[in-house]
Structure 1
């Protein structure tokens, strides 16, 4: 068996308030739910972006918890890539520059396709790339 798609992806942040402002106001994602001090969940296309306070998610669930999600978390800068067409990448660049978000890197891949990289407030590497960089 092989999974058919990625349903959710997670990033870990140090400041949930800054992450909420960044992912809603700059990136334009819709907030689905949040638990103060623990997490933010955003709709992204047909999937979900999970943004966690890593320290809060390292705590095991209580024995009587309704949702027994195992502890998890990461330390350091993660990475997430949003799919975008070449025209959308150009529009993202203008949008981000207008909002004073530094473009960390922008280039054409040898196999074709562009990528644009920025950082979120917690230092996670956020990329916008054409799906053709993966042959899609």
Structure 2
């Protein structure tokens, strides 16, 4: 078997029922840069070399219009999960940012290998994690 040509994850999707609240949370509370908003269908954010896609499943489950890009219908219901890569100093700053915004931190702990993780929820109930890359044996990129 040969090595896979896959280099990483280009985008990650979460689903929400309120795009305005999601944009306020991810852009305002987490400080992510909005790169695209399409009405009540979706809002996309830049995270270094990847993109976080926030979709409204009530819109993305609809088949594309005849003149639209042929993206197949998709969607998910219920809370999803995404983990954001942060340095140790970044985790401290994020914990303070979340506390200042009144966002409850559900867990803040060190894994057996020593990496730290913070868990919290977005307004739609998605489980979000911020963790040091050492969690998966990866080096911190600056």
Compare 72-81 and 92-101 and name the one that shifted more: 92-101
SS at match of 2:105: coil
Q: CA deviation at 1:46?
A: 1.1
Say whether 1:13 aligns with 2:16: yes
Number of aligned residues: 135
From 57, 69, 73, the equivalent of 1:54 is: 57
Counterpart mapping for 1:1-136 below 5 A:
1-65=4-68, 67-136=69-138
Contact 2:113 2:135 in 1 (8 A): yes
| TM-score (norm. length: structure 1) | 0.95
Q: CA deviation at 1:63?
A: 2.9
Q: CA deviation at 1:37?
A: 1.3
In the alignment, structure 2 segments of 5+ residues that lack a partner are: none
CA deviation profile, 1:98-125 (whole Å, cap 9, x unmatched): 1111111111001220000110000001
Q: CA deviation at 1:94?
A: 1.1
* In 2: Cα distance, 1:33 partner to 1:62 partner: 20
Compare 56-65 and 10-19 and name the one that shifted more: 56-65
In the alignment, structure 1 segments of 5+ residues that lack a partner are: none
